[in-house]
Structure 1
Amino acid sequence: MKKQNTFSTGMAAVLWSSLILLLLFLDQFTKHEAFLHLRHQDSIPLIPGVLELSYVENRGMAFGMLEGRRFLFIGICVLFCIALVWIFVRLPKNRYYLPLVITGGVLFSGAVGNFIDRLRCGYVVDFIYFSLIDFPVFNIADIYVVCGGIALVLLVIFKYKDEDFDFLYRNKKDK
Structure 2
Amino acid sequence: MYEILILVLIGIDQTTKYLVKTRLATGESISVIGGIFNLTYVENRGAAFGMLQNMKGFFVAVAIVVAIAGIVYIHRSRAKAQTSRKASSLAKINRLSVASIIAGAIGNLIDRVWLGYVVDFFDFRFIWSYVFNFADILVVLGTIVLCISVFLAGEDVD
Q: 1:21 to 1:36 in 2, by over 3 A?
A: same
Secondary structure in 1 matching 2:132 = coil
Residue number among 66, 69, 75 corresponding to 2:61 in the alignment: 75
> TM-score, normalised on structure 2?
0.89
In percent, how many aligned pairs have the same letter? 37
Q: 1:163 to 1:62 in 2, by over 3 A?
A: closer
Q: How does 1:76-91 map to 2 (within 5 A)?
A: 76-91=62-77
> TM-score, normalised on structure 1?
0.81
Q: CA deviation at 1:95?
A: 4.9
Aligned equivalent of 1:10: none
State the aligned residue count: 150
The amino acid across from 1:37 in the alignment is: R
Note if 1:162 corresponds to 2:155.
Answer: yes
Residue number among 6, 24, 34 corresponding to 2:10 in the alignment: 24
Q: CA deviation at 1:41?
A: 6.3
Q: 1:120 to 1:78 in 2, by over 3 A?
A: same
Q: CA deviation at 1:164?
A: 2.8
Q: 1:163 to 1:32 in 2, by over 3 A?
A: closer
Secondary structure in 2 matching 1:136 = strand
Q: How does 1:62-141 map to 2 (within 5 A)?
A: 62-91=48-77, 92-93=80-81, 94-96=87-89, 97-141=91-135
Q: CA deviation at 1:40?
A: 4.2
1:97-127 Cα deviation digits (max 9, x unpaired):
2111111111110000000000000100000
Q: Distance in 1 between matches of 2:66 and 2:113?
A: 16
Structure 2: segments with no counterpart, 5+ residues: 82-86
Residue number among 134, 145, 149 corresponding to 2:143 in the alignment: 149
Q: 1:41 to 1:76 in 2, by over 3 A?
A: closer
Aligned equivalent of 2:84: none
Give the root-mean-square deviation of aligned CA atoms.
1.4
Q: 1:132 to 1:85 in 2, by over 3 A?
A: same
Residue number among 47, 69, 73 corresponding to 2:33 in the alignment: 47
Greater strand share, structure number: 2
Say which one has the larger Rg.
1
